[in-house]
Amino acid sequence: MSESFLLNDEQMRKFISEGFLILNTDFPESFHASLFNQLNEVYGEEGNPGNNILPRIPELQKVFDHPVIQGALTSVLGENYMMHPHRHGHFNKKATAGGWHKDSYWGHQRVRNHRPWWAMIFYFPQDVTIDMGPTGVVPGTGCYQTRTFESDDTELEVTSHGKAGTFALVQYDIWHRATANISGKDRYMLKFQFVRTNAPTKPTWNNASSEWITPAGFTKPIVQHELIWRDTWNWLTGQQQDASASIGDRSVSAADEWIAQLQSDDRSLRAKAADELGLIGEAAAAQAVPALAATLNDAFEPVALNAAYSLGRMGEQGLRHLLGTVENGSGIAARSAAYGAYIAGPAAIDGLTAIVRSGSADAASYAAFALGELGRAAAPAVPALIERLRNADADAKVRRTVIETLGMIGATEDAVVAALEQALQDADDQVRFMAGLSLSRLGAQADKAVPAIVKALDDDNRYVRANAAEALYYIGTEQAKNALLKFLRTSRWCSTTTPKTTF
């Protein structure tokens, strides 16, 4: 990838804090006109092709081969990112707006990553004006599981409109919707999802500065999440961060004032107060930890998240409260505490491992999620993760999380590969899907699993089959390549064979 097409620091900071970027390809107008006409033909005569939109209109691949789109995805997801098997062409001619939502992971139970493991592209093959119903997003909401705004808060919305070839690169978990198309014109938006296959070890964009610098101005009012943004930046740059030192010359003398603000009626101010206490770091632990621990139960999720991240920077005292909440808490508090636990770094591994071994299904899922975000440092937890996976009473949610976590940790010993092989036969289709993704992340070290992956190519679930094929591609050994080629020769698609032209 030519460096000239990678994002720069300013764009990456905007993406981290606001959750989206509007970019443009430079195809000639004739290219987009051709795509638009093909879409009209396919939708008009055959209906929505769903996941088959790419093989049905192969010219679309040129969009995702374009260096601007490849550069944006490489910058955010690393060089070996994967195109998710789900993709969808949205046709909007409705004069009413769609509902606010986050895309699911086969449902909404999964704990969502704040760090960019997933991303989406919204691509517009025709000119889109505001009255044509462009996709709207609420900036800064990518880290919220709950909707933190009223459905009619349209002043918070940003729309992705522009000339043909405009695309939005968005955080997978951002809140978004289709706006009302009152123009009377056809409007297509092509949504494709992408997944990171490896944790970053260095910046994969045009990085000039190692320091996080908060953007000077935001597109819309955004709640302060300095700790979340800094953690994401440091993770993407491969930096090891001090989990407790003061940031930005914050003084412990300000701690009491911020603690008082945790009781404010202004929820944005409560969120800022929780964030500022974490920026002071462990020096404020004696005063701040009890107040922050109570704030984990704040009904406004951004406040609870900031409290959790702050507790993760409060040393042993803060970590103790986080682990206790992961194990015994519920709702927003327990989920938020899982994020705070991995902010605490390797010091959290023993406590999280103990919860995986003996905690409830929810607690074990949260603990396993946090261990996954700790990556290779969490390798000592692998035996406990496999043990919990093999328990006869292991909840499906636990199995899904543990299987994904094994791939994120990246340990390649035989026991891990064997556990992922077994997961390809799990009764839960999401577990089987995650097993394929984790085997992809292990790469060539998972070659022993190829026979089991080949069997998964016949799975009843389309996404399990797709991830099994991706696993063979990313494993990339001779055995894997031969198996993939055999599968593709059988399942190949002819883009011009339609109900009108069957042969």
| Per-residue exposure over 64-98, b if at least 16 CB sit within 10 Å of its own CB, e if not | bebebbbbbbbbbbbeebbbbbebbbebbeeeebb
177 backbone dihedrals φ, ψ, rounded to 5°: -165, 165
Least-confidence region, from 107-111, 253-257, 357-361, 458-462: 107-111
Same domain flag for 62 and 175: yes
Same domain flag for 440 and 292: no
Same domain flag for 288 and 178: no
Residue-level pLDDT at 419 = 97
Question: Is the separation of the CB atoms in 341 and 322 below 8 Å?
Answer: yes
Question: Is the separation of the CB atoms in 234 and 154 below 8 Å?
Answer: no
Average pLDDT, the chain: 94
Same domain flag for 137 and 77: yes
Enclosing domain of residue 450: 412-503
Question: Is the separation of the CB atoms in 255 and 277 below 8 Å?
Answer: yes
Residue-level pLDDT at 497 = 85
The answer to whether residue 218 sits within a structural domain is no
Closest to 296 measured CA to CA, from 267, 335, 258, 266: 335
Lookup result for tokens 């880290």? 143
Would the pLDDT of 494 be above 90?
no
Question: Is the separation of the CB atoms in 212 and 229 below 8 Å?
Answer: yes
Edge-first strand listing for the sheet containing 166-171: 20-24, 166-171, 118-123, 187-195, 82-92
Same domain flag for 283 and 182: no
- 156-203 pLDDT, tens digit per residue, is 899 999 999 999 999 999 999 999 999 999 999 999 999 999 999 999
Which DSSP symbol is given to 83?
E
Same domain flag for 372 and 339: no
- The residue type found at 435 is A
Residue-level pLDDT at 2 = 65
User: Among residues of the chain, what percentage have pLDDT more than 70?
Assistant: 99
266 backbone dihedrals φ, ψ, rounded to 5°: -85, 110
Helix, coil or strand: residue 275:
helix
The answer to whether residue 86 sits within a structural domain is yes
Average pLDDT over residues 90-96: 91
Query: CA dihedral defined by 431, 432, 434, 436, rounded to 10 degrees?
Result: 160
Q: What is the rounded distance in angstroms from the CA atom of residue 24 to the CA atom of residue 43?
A: 25
> Structure tokens of 477?
């050994």
The answer to whether residue 201 sits within a structural domain is no
User: Among residues of the chain, what percentage have pLDDT more than 90?
Assistant: 88
Q: What is the rounded distance in angstroms from the CA atom of residue 120 to the CA atom of residue 400?
A: 22
Question: Is the separation of the CB atoms in 136 and 177 below 8 Å?
Answer: yes
The answer to whether residue 219 sits within a structural domain is no
Same domain flag for 270 and 331: yes
Would the pLDDT of 56 be above 80?
yes
Would the pLDDT of 434 be above 80?
yes
Q: What is the rounded distance in angstroms from the CA atom of residue 167 to the CA atom of residue 188?
A: 12
Residue-level pLDDT at 269 = 97
Residue 298, domain CATH:
1.25.10.10
Give the residue from 343, 376, 397 where a domain finishes: 343
The answer to whether residue 63 sits within a structural domain is yes
Give strand pairing partners of 206.
8
C-alpha separations of 71 from 66, 81, 113, 197, 374 in Å: 8, 11, 22, 16, 27
Which DSSP symbol is given to 239?
-
Same domain flag for 29 and 142: yes
Would the pLDDT of 363 be above 60?
yes
Same domain flag for 55 and 86: yes
Residue 95, domain CATH:
2.60.120.620
Would the pLDDT of 222 be above 70?
yes
User: Is the Cα dihedral 12, 13, 17, 18 positive or negative?
Assistant: negative
Would the pLDDT of 422 be above 80?
yes
Query: CA dihedral defined by 381, 384, 386, 392, rounded to 10 degrees?
Result: -160
DSSP calls for 370-439: HHHHTGGGGGGGHHHHHHHHH-TT--HHHHHHHHHHHHHH---SHHHHHHHHHHTT-SSHHHHHHHHHHH
The answer to whether residue 72 sits within a structural domain is yes
Average pLDDT over residues 86-95: 92
The answer to whether residue 366 sits within a structural domain is yes
Lookup result for tokens 């990112």? 81
The answer to whether residue 200 sits within a structural domain is no
- 6-50 pLDDT, tens digit per residue, is 999 999 999 999 999 999 999 999 999 999 999 999 999 999 999
Q: What is the rounded distance in angstroms from the CA atom of residue 18 to the CA atom of residue 222?
A: 8
Least-confidence region, from 173-187, 294-308, 357-371, 390-404: 390-404
Give the residue from 294, 316, 343 where a domain finishes: 343
Could you give the number of structural domains in the chain?
Answer: 4
Closest to 462 measured CA to CA, from 87, 58, 113: 87
C-alpha separations of 261 from 5, 223, 257, 273, 338 in Å: 44, 15, 6, 6, 24
